């Protein structure tokens, strides 16, 4: 096995690694690989960019095109010892839309301002894509081989259900992942400052499941000037109001319990399993996301009804974004049915599993050690994510996945609001920190 490269690196070499990640993050932001949903997306230019950056250092990769323009990129990095199972290191190369009029900068400029790289995808997740590329490009230049085989995958369509990305790849090309047992990807390893300055590093070890549903009410069509006690809009609006105002009971998974136990310890606050919500105030802006992992949730997101001001339509519908904790999918569905009653139809728009894995073992140890190598006072903790990642698709192949795209963040940065938000940005020194942590991890995993 090769000795860890970081032990022999000069400061100039480290700076080159960091600068490569920073530059490529900017360059990728300037490629607007926007995913509009409903099959309307195009990752071809981003896929070509990834292929070209790997080819510059002699790494061969392949594009898998699920549909015209819907491109996934795969590259294999051979290890010094082929005995151990492989690790999937994956990111997605699509981004959500951005309305330039709402932004302080051009959302596809990749501009550096106030110590941040600004642009759509800066956090979600072209920073991680850039870090992955920077590390394997450096390895190729110096002839280093990692301790286990790595399968690098840059997926399409993560932002709209994974149909042309990880779902398609795992179904149509499972051979790509043969021999792999574990995976890492986005939204984990980022810092949250609590208490008197202690930094927790949140590693994603669980994520809520998804049930997007369409509710449809049917009624009696008629003239808007007449009495109508069978109005479809009234019926669906009543259902939406009940769902939107429902107080979901607290349900604490094992990951949530471990996370809040560490929060209590770091802040010297009581750890009361009868109600963990008082500890949320210790998490600052991150509490909005973490708070959603204490319970199931269902948020109305879309309404559709009618076609003229004086016509009562015969049907009306609403879209509900349901999210369930690991082990509580049946409770979510039963509660929705109870709230809306028997007369409103429920159609599943999209459904995906919840995940939860143990925060232990060699891979977890390598993540924790890598974080401490760059921040000895840091405290790695597992957390449950309110959203989902491509690890859901990989789990169908028995691959255990974690969120680990490390970043050290300023204490006052509202990190979670920047995902899919206006003025998305990532600290430049956060990427420098992250690429060092990620390299250490990949050299010792």
In angstroms, the CA 319 to CA 301 distance is: 6
Residue 14: its pLDDT value, please? Answer: 58
Q: What is the pLDDT along the chain (445 residues), one digit of tens a residue?
A: 343 444 444 445 558 999 999 999 999 999 999 999 989 999 999 999 999 999 999 999 999 999 999 999 999 999 988 889 999 999 999 999 999 999 999 999 999 999 999 999 999 999 999 999 999 999 999 999 999 999 999 999 999 889 999 999 999 999 999 999 999 999 999 999 998 899 999 999 999 999 999 999 999 999 999 989 999 999 999 999 999 999 999 999 999 999 999 999 999 999 999 999 999 999 998 999 999 999 999 999 999 999 999 999 999 999 999 999 999 999 999 999 999 999 999 999 989 999 999 999 999 999 999 999 999 999 999 999 998 999 999 999 999 999 999 999 999 888 878 888 999 999 999 999 999 999 999 999 9
Q: What is the CA radius of gyration of the chain?
A: 23
Cβ atoms 292, 323 nearer than 8 A: yes
Cβ atoms 135, 152 nearer than 8 A: no
In angstroms, the CA 443 to CA 5 distance is: 8
In angstroms, the CA 108 to CA 46 distance is: 13
Structural domain boundaries in the chain: 5-194+360-444, 205-352
Q: What class has domain 5-194+360-444?
A: alpha beta
Two tokens, residue 272: 């009361």
Give the DSSP letter of residue 103. Answer: S
Helix or strand holding residue 200 (H, E): strand 198-207
**Crossing angle for the helix pair 11-29 and 44-55, to the nearest 10 degrees:** 160
Q: How far is CA 78 from the centre of its chain?
A: 27
In angstroms, the CA 125 to CA 156 distance is: 12
pTM exceeding 0.85:
yes
Domain with residues 205-352, CATH architecture: 2-Layer Sandwich (3.30)
Residue 36: its pLDDT value, please? Answer: 94
Give the DSSP letter of residue 197. Answer: T
Give the DSSP letter of residue 255. Answer: H
Cβ atoms 109, 425 nearer than 8 A: no
DSSP string over 311-354: EE-SEEEEEEEEEE-TT-HHHHHHHHHHHH-TTSEEEEEEEE--
Cβ atoms 130, 25 nearer than 8 A: yes
In angstroms, the CA 13 to CA 331 distance is: 53
């Amino acid at each position: 096995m090769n000795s860890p490269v970081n032990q022999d690196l000069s400061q100039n070499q480290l700076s080159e690694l960091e600068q490569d990640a920073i530059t490529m993050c900017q360059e990728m932001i300037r490629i607007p690989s926007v995913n509009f949903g409903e099959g309307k997306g195009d990752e071809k230019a981003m896929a070509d960019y990834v292929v070209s950056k790997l080819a510059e250092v002699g790494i061969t990769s392949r594009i898998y095109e699920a549909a015209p323009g819907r491109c996934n990129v795969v590259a294999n990095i051979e290890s010094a010892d082929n005995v151990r199972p492989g690790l999937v290191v994956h990111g997605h190369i699509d981004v959500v839309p951005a309305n330039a009029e709402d932004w302080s900068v051009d959302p596809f400029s990749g501009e550096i301002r106030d110590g941040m790289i600004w642009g759509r995808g800066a956090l979600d997740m072209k920073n991680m894509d850039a870090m992955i590329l920077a590390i394997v490009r450096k390895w190729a230049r110096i002839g280093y081989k990692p301790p286990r085989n790595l399968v690098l995958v840059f997926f399409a369509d993560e932002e709209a259900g994974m149909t042309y990305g990880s779902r398609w790849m795992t179904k149509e090309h499972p051979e790509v992942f043969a021999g792999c047992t574990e995976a890492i990807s986005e939204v984990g390893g980022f810092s949250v400052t609590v208490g008197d300055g202690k930094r927790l590093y949140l590693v994603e070890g669980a994520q809520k499941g998804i049930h997007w549903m369409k509710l449809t009410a049917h009624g009696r069509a008629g003239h808007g000037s007449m009495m109508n006690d069978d109005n479809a809009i009234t019926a669906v609006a009543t259902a939406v109001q009940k769902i939107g105002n429902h107080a979901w009971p607290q349900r604490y998974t094992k990951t949530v319990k471990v996370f809040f136990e560490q929060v209590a310890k770091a802040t010297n606050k009581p750890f009361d399993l009868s109600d963990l919500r008082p500890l949320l105030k210790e998490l600052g802006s991150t509490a909005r996301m973490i708070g959603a992992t204490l319970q199931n949730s269902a948020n109305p997101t879309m309404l559709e009804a009618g076609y003229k001001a004086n016509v009562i339509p015969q049907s009306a519908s609403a879209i509900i974004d349901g999210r369930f904790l690991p082990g509580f999918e049946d409770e979510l569905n039963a509660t929705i049915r109870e709230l809306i009653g028997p007369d409103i139809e429920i159609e599943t728009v999209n459904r995906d599993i919840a995940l939860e894995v143990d925060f232990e073992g060699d891979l977890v140890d390598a993540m924790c050690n890598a974080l401490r190598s760059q921040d000895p006072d840091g405290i790695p903790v597992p957390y449950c994510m309110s959203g989902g990642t491509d690890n859901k698709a990989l789990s169908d192949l028995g691959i255990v996945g974690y969120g680990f795209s490390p970043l050290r963040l300023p204490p006052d940065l509202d990190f979670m609001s920047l995902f899919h938000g206006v003025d998305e940005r990532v600290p430049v020194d956060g990427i420098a920190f992250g690429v060092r942590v990620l390299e250490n991890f990949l050299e010792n995993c």
